[in-house]
Structures are given as structure tokens and as C-alpha cells.
Chains A and B, each alone.
Chain A
């Protein structure tokens, strides 16, 4: 369906006053907080040479990460890479270098939205999204995840709820999340929540499957 695109024809209204624009921060010359001066080099003793293999083992086709040429396509196509402390490409490089500590404490796997754009675009077919999931798993196990960040908190709540009832109830999860991470947001979003409730999009009844025990059996059986 590729057709030669015309430039947008509708008269373009100005997007708005520059001050309110989602522009990158301009260069100001204003003094910022300076970073501490310290030795940041990495000694071999701080690096874990087995880390890359550990990650690769967790993921199907994970050994492909050794073939990364650091091209940066993943970071480029990622819709949220601008918000990550370590871009996906850099995360893979640090994984290969064995910087286990930095990688497992990074926000990046938790900022990832699992859109799979990186996986589709990677010229070496590295399963990057799955690698992010693997890093989440390890960071949950070792408790290196960012404590009050919504995503890992939500993950744990979600998993608990499913283990218990087999289905999740959006309203209950949201409630728990607000309480655990940022109660003030509850107030901010109260209006929206009320509207949704009135329109029948927030159910209060707890969803559940009938054979709850089956689920627990299933989960135990697959892990044993």
C-alpha cells in the first residue's frame, strides 16, 4: 500500500507556544549540579565474565547477543529509549562486558514497554525484548529492581493476584499500585476514575476462575 506521500495538505496550525512545547531542553549556560569527580574505571574484578552467558541461557536464541555489532538500531527504534538510563544497545554492551551490577540495577528493563520494535528491527535478530524480560526476572530474584517504581511493583501484585484467583481485576491492581507507590496520584486521577466507573469500565467484583487449585498445581508442575 506504499504510495508516494503528499506533504500534509491541511493547513497546519502552529503547534503552540514554544514554552509549552515538548522540545528538548535548550542549551542554557545555567549552572547545573556537578557530578562528583571520582574514578569510574571498571576493574576486571568488578566484572562478571559469566554474566553474558547467564543472560543468554535464560532466553531462547539468547546466544545471539554475542553477535551484536552495537549498531544502535534498537535504541533508535525504541519509543522510550530516551527515558532509559542505559539505552538498549548500551545495556547489551554492558552485559557482554560483564557489568552485572550496573545492568541489574538499571531502570532500562523496567522502562521497556515490550513493543518488540527492537526485536523486529535488529539486523542480527537478537531477541532483545526477551532479554529485557530475563533481566527483570533476575533483578526480581536478587531484589535489585527499583523499589518504588510502578512497573516491578505492579508485576508482583499482578502475579500474586493471578496465583490466587487466576484472573486479574484491573481496579484492585490499580488501587494497590497507587497505595504502594504514589497515593497522591489517587487524588489527581479521582475524577477520571469516577467517570470510568460511571461508564461501567471499572469493575469492583473480583474476577476469579473456578478451578483455582488447578492453577497452583499447574504452576508448581511446570517449575519442578
Chain B
């Protein structure tokens, strides 16, 4: 942990604060309303003010030079700039103060633009208010204590949570840069949702063909430690210095010995699969010993203790053990744990598709031939339950297929958002189903959203192939036949809004384009990593436009659909961006810490623990023996909640002491 001492301020050359006041014109933004000359003259009459100047644009180089020169010449040792808002330029002027050789925290800003010239109608009122704010800043800055900017060291290793395409790409980028990366994945294989797809839009690239090389790279990369069938169970620490506890669930097979020959599966005493195969979305059955798909990475089988006879009854000839030439089985395996120290974490935990059972009007679970898009991806996949054939539950080929867009999305009753990828994948499914079966395909959509590169052209291609497009949201799927040709079919009723008539279209198969939703345990995960979720459940980025991969918790980054619905190109881009920001942090080797942190005066602390639970950043620890609270100044963000809540005034904040605040208030009141 980094230590920080509060050194007394170095003695000023002639013993006291000498304040320089710089009033900015900001072109006409301030000067057009406020009488700058009056303010400057007034400032020069204030106590401890040694120098008062004005300039057209204080934030410019010559403007900053004014400050720096005065500091270097020893004319001033504290700086007040009356200009725009701290959010705009506090950092700029603090840097200028530092350049001039003084602590950057001997600086105070008076906002006479956002708080005065932009919001006051009358010029005289504005000038008066500007004077009051300058007086306040002057009184305050005289009391500022000497603070130094602080750094904390960053641990060199990195953790990526989630092994889908986002996690894979981020891990590879960072590993290629020479960093050691832990890639933790909950399933028994990496690959995520992308590994389940057959082809990807808009190029119709085979998903496995473009993904498996990356998966293989991950496995063989010297800088990546791949932990599958593992999850994160605890995170402690802070930016640059996280301690993460990872649990490895037992496969009952030694990972380092298994070669993935799959003989054991063949020889299992279950002649056929009997248990729901989650990888195939429940469309097929598997044995208790299984591998999700042939290219699973790592190529290691898994034993499901809920299904395996050995675990349930203890009586099994265990033909699997005999079949294994490498003696890789170990039925005594238990959970193991690892604790690692990392400097940064990338969350790439992905998404879940909308549960179609929540919309009973579409008949999922009620009518056998209503499928979700993910189920159809498995049907289309050559490694899937039907070897790539699109067939109905009874094995026959569909002659007419209806694809319903926006299932669970854009709906006040379910999810308000648009899931971004469904239009494109529905067009892709339309193409593939038509190609494989020759069926007539109808797509029912509300709006066709094809914004990416090559996406509109893809839509055009699908239109040329004769897929029927019906612009109308489907209210329901029924098996009620209103005319002879509807007998034995599922009927989709929708208003074709573009022709203005309601249509009833009998189909054999219905495909529901289910939307993207957050993982069901998103709240638990975000609490563990100390970040936040938006109202809809996706992880919150630091800024929706300008900081999409970082979070409000320094050191935790986001990549992929866990932050919001997105397609594969955007996911990879975001993963690369997250990797870059991580590398920037880790390569720099240190993080700058907040100077205006809180601290607790030991003698005043009564041990009431009020502050401990209030801290939004979990930065306050309580020593049960001494019955005193203390603030971890590395994690503390200086929000001030503990300071405000402390009943005994023991919690105090640098740069926001009672004296400083009262001085500011008095400054305003004296002149307003």
C-alpha cells in the first residue's frame, strides 16, 4: 500500500500566502456581460492578493504562461483563476500551477462563466456576483493545505472474465503485448455464443472457421493462463492491485492429461444420450460424460455429477476409465481455488437471449414447431443435433417458414431496447433456411435495422432472393385454422402495414428472433466487481459516448455484449479498445490518485460505523480491535459522503475542510 504523508506547507518567501488572481475574458463569453476591469480592480483590494491580472483566454498558452511566470518570479504562491467551470479547465490550471513550480492544489477556480455571465441577465448584477465569487475563492485558497499528487503502482498481470469472442480478443491483444493474462470462463469451453452459430452476417463467414483459430491461439499462447469451467468468487483490492479468487469446478478429468480423443464418451455405459444437451439448446440429448462440441477449447471432456451413475449410486463399471489410454480420470477431484493479483480486470461476460416462454402468445413451448433463433442456429450448424439439416420436430422439412423479429425487444411489457442484431441475424436465417430447404420464408418486422458496413447490401441480397418481407409486428401464433389451407399449419396473423391489410399466413415452422438480455446473474457480478448496472441490467460504462470501455471503478473495464447489445465487429472493436486502455494503465505502471480524499481523525472517531456502510466505493475499513474506522486513501474518490455523515466530525476531507468551506461562504456573503 502506498503511504502518503501530509507534509506541512513549505514556508512562503515572506511568510504568508501571496495570491495571484487572473480574470479571463473568455472572448466575449464573460467580458460581454461582466465588467472585467472592475473585477480586477476589486480583486487587487482583497487581503493577501499580490497580483491581479486579466487576459482574453486564460486557458491558452500565453494565458497559462502569465500564471507560470508569476510563480517562477516569486510574485505569487497561490493562484485563483476566475473563468469557466472546473470541469472544463481545473486540470489545465492545476497543471500550469505545477509547471510554475508550486503544488497544483494551491489553486482555486471561480466560475464566472457558467455561474455568472451565462446565467445572469443584468450586467451590473453579473459583475457583483463575479466579485463575490472571486472574493470567496481568494479567502479559500489562502487556507489550502499542501498536497502532493499521489501515485499507486499497478500490478503487471491482467484478468479477463468471460471467454467469448470479446474476452478472447482482448486477451490475445494484451498477451501479444507481453502481458500475462488470466482468462476465466464459466463454461467448459471458450467460444461463447459465437461458437454456437453456423454462419455470421453479413459475409456468411462460417463462425467456427473464424473463431477456432483464435481459440486455438488462446490455448497455445505462452502469456495466457486459460481457466475454463472456472468462475470468479471474490474480488478484493483496488485499482492497480486487485486480488481475485477463482474457483475451478471439477471435471473429474485431469486437464493436462486429456487429449480430447472422446473414446470415453463412446464407451460410456449409457448407449445413447439421455440428458438435456445445453449446448444444443435442449434439442438433443447427451451422456453424463460429454464435450460441448468437437472443437471445444480446451479439448477436455466433462463429467456431469448430476447425471453420472457413479456419483448417483456408486455402482458403475466405469468403462470410461478403461477407455482412457492416458489414465486421465480422477473421480475424487474437488473444487480448487486460486488467488491471483492483477492490475486490471476486463469484464466480458456476454449476454443471454430473451426467454421466449415469457411471450405465450408466440406459442413457444406450446406448439412443437416454434423455435428460437439460437435453436435454429444449432439446427443449421453441421456439428449440431441434426447435422446441419433444418427439419421440424417430426423430421420432415418445412415448406413455409415464418421468422418473427423483435421478440422481447422494443416492448414495454418486456424489454424496451432494440437488441441491435436481430434484424441482421433474421435476414441471415432467412437466407440459410431458404438455401437449405427451399422453403418459402416470411420475415415479420417492425423496422429493418441494418446499419453496419455491408449490412444494407446484405438486406438487398436477401430481398433479391425472394424472401417475403412483411412489415408488421406479429400479435400471435395460433393453430386455429380459419380456412382449409390453414389446416395443420401454424398461422401467423399480422397487419402488413405497407399494404394496409391484415394477413394470415400459414407456416410450418416459426422462428422467434429473440433479443439480447443481460446475464441473469449480472447484478451479482457487478456487485462483486464493484461496478454498476444500468436500469436494464447491462453494465454501465463511464461515459456512453466518450468512455465506452471503462467503468467508474478504475481498473475494471468492459468489453462486448455485457455492456449492451452489439454485433461481432463492434464486440471485437470494443474488446480491442478495452485491451488498449488496460495496456495504457499497466504500461504506465502507476495510477494517479485523488488528492481530496477523506481521512478519519483517530481521536475524534467514536467507532459508530456510520461511515463504513455509506461509502459507495467500499473504501472504509473498520478495525474491530481498536474500534476505529479508517479510509483507504487509494480507493477513496473524495465523494464526501462519510464526511457529511460523521456525527463526530472525525471524517474530514482534504481540500474540503470546514475552515475552507466557511471561508468561501464568508467571502460570498461579505460582498454579495
Task: Verify whether A and B have any Cβ pair under 8 Å.
Answer: yes
A153 and B115 CA atoms in complex are apart in Å by 64
A112-130 at interface with B (beta carbon < 8 Å):
117, 121-125
- A22 at interface (Cβ–Cβ under 8 A)? yes
Contact across chains for B412 and A125 when beta carbons are under 8 A apart: yes
A87 and B496 CA atoms in complex are apart in Å by 11
State which of A18, A24, A73 has its C-beta within 8 Å of the C-beta of B473: A73
Of B246-254, B380-388, B478-486, B655-663, the one touching chain A: B478-486
Chain B residues in 8 Å Cβ range of A12? 487
Contact across chains for A89 and B495 when beta carbons are under 8 A apart: yes
Chain B residues in 8 Å Cβ range of A74? 495
- B16 at interface (Cβ–Cβ under 8 A)? no
A123 and B447 CA atoms in complex are apart in Å by 14
- A21 at interface (Cβ–Cβ under 8 A)? yes
Contact across chains for A123 and B412 when beta carbons are under 8 A apart: yes
Which residue of chain B has its CB nearest to the CB of A6? B368
Which residue of chain B has its CB nearest to the CB of A82? B502
Contact across chains for B446 and A71 when beta carbons are under 8 A apart: yes
Which residue of chain A has its CB nearest to the CB of B483? A23
State which of B410, B476, B479, B495 has its C-beta within 8 Å of the C-beta of A72: B495
- Interface size, B (range): 20 to 34
A82 and B366 CA atoms in complex are apart in Å by 27
CB distance from B7 to the nearest CB of A (A): 60
Q: 1/0 per position for A72-92, CB-CB distance to B under 8 A? A: 111111100110000101100
A87-B500 in contact given A69-B446, A75-B495 (Cβ < 8 Å): yes
CB distance from B141 to the nearest CB of A (A): 50
A85 and B313 CA atoms in complex are apart in Å by 69
CB distance from B600 to the nearest CB of A (A): 50
- A174 at interface (Cβ–Cβ under 8 A)? no
Contact across chains for B472 and A72 when beta carbons are under 8 A apart: yes
State which of A2, A69, A72, A117 has its C-beta within 8 Å of the C-beta of B494: A72
Which residue of chain B has its CB nearest to the CB of A14? B484
A123 and B409 CA atoms in complex are apart in Å by 9
Contact across chains for A73 and B475 when beta carbons are under 8 A apart: yes
CB distance from A119 to the nearest CB of B (A): 12
Chain B residues in 8 Å Cβ range of A122? 412
CB distance from B515 to the nearest CB of A (A): 12
State which of A2, A18, A73 has its C-beta within 8 Å of the C-beta of B360: A2
CB distance from A67 to the nearest CB of B (A): 9
State which of A3, A71, A123 has its C-beta within 8 Å of the C-beta of B472: A71
- B365 at interface (Cβ–Cβ under 8 A)? yes
Q: 1/0 per position for A116-148, CB-CB distance to B under 8 A? A: 010001111100000000000000000000000
- B488 at interface (Cβ–Cβ under 8 A)? yes
- B413 at interface (Cβ–Cβ under 8 A)? yes
Q: 1/0 per position for B453-495, CB-CB distance to A under 8 A? A: 0000000000000000001111110010011100110000111
CB distance from B414 to the nearest CB of A (A): 8
Contact across chains for B502 and A75 when beta carbons are under 8 A apart: yes
- A19 at interface (Cβ–Cβ under 8 A)? no
Chain B residues in 8 Å Cβ range of A45? none
Which residue of chain A has its CB nearest to the CB of B414? A123
CB distance from A164 to the nearest CB of B (A): 41
Q: 1/0 per position for A1-20, CB-CB distance to B under 8 A? A: 01111010000101100100
- A182 at interface (Cβ–Cβ under 8 A)? no
Chain A residues in 8 Å Cβ range of B368? 4
CB distance from B8 to the nearest CB of A (A): 62
CB distance from A122 to the nearest CB of B (A): 8
Chain A residues in 8 Å Cβ range of B447? 69
Contact across chains for A15 and B484 when beta carbons are under 8 A apart: yes
Contact across chains for B367 and A5 when beta carbons are under 8 A apart: yes
Chain B residues in 8 Å Cβ range of A69? 410, 446-447
- A155 at interface (Cβ–Cβ under 8 A)? no
- A70 at interface (Cβ–Cβ under 8 A)? yes
A124 and B367 CA atoms in complex are apart in Å by 27
CB distance from B367 to the nearest CB of A (A): 6
A5, A73, A90 — which one has the most chain B CB atoms within 10 A of its CB? A73
Contact across chains for A76 and B475 when beta carbons are under 8 A apart: yes
Chain B residues in 8 Å Cβ range of A15? 483-484
State which of B482, B493, B496 has its C-beta within 8 Å of the C-beta of A22: B482
- B38 at interface (Cβ–Cβ under 8 A)? no
Chain B residues in 8 Å Cβ range of A78? 502
A73 and B484 CA atoms in complex are apart in Å by 25
Which residue of chain A has its CB nearest to the CB of B367? A5
A121-B500 in contact given A5-B367, A76-B494 (Cβ < 8 Å): no
A87 and B495 CA atoms in complex are apart in Å by 9
- B411 at interface (Cβ–Cβ under 8 A)? yes
CB distance from A79 to the nearest CB of B (A): 10
Q: 1/0 per position for B493-505, CB-CB distance to A under 8 A? A: 1111100111000
Which residue of chain B has its CB nearest to the CB of A12? B487
Q: 1/0 per position for B354-396, CB-CB distance to A under 8 A? A: 0000001100011110000000000000000000000000000
CB distance from B548 to the nearest CB of A (A): 26
9 closest Cβ pairs, A-B complex: A75-B495, A71-B473, A77-B475, A72-B495, A72-B472, A76-B475, A123-B411, A71-B446, A72-B497
| Additional A-B contacts beyond A73-B473, A76-B494, A123-B413 (5; CB < 8 A) | A7-B479, A18-B484, A72-B494, A73-B474, A82-B501
A-B contact pairs, 8 of them (CB 8 A): A21-B484, A72-B495, A75-B495, A78-B502, A81-B495, A82-B502, A87-B495, A90-B497
B interface residues (Cβ-Cβ under 8 A, vs A): 360-361, 365-368, 406, 410-413, 446-447, 471-476, 479, 482-484, 487-488, 493-497, 500-502
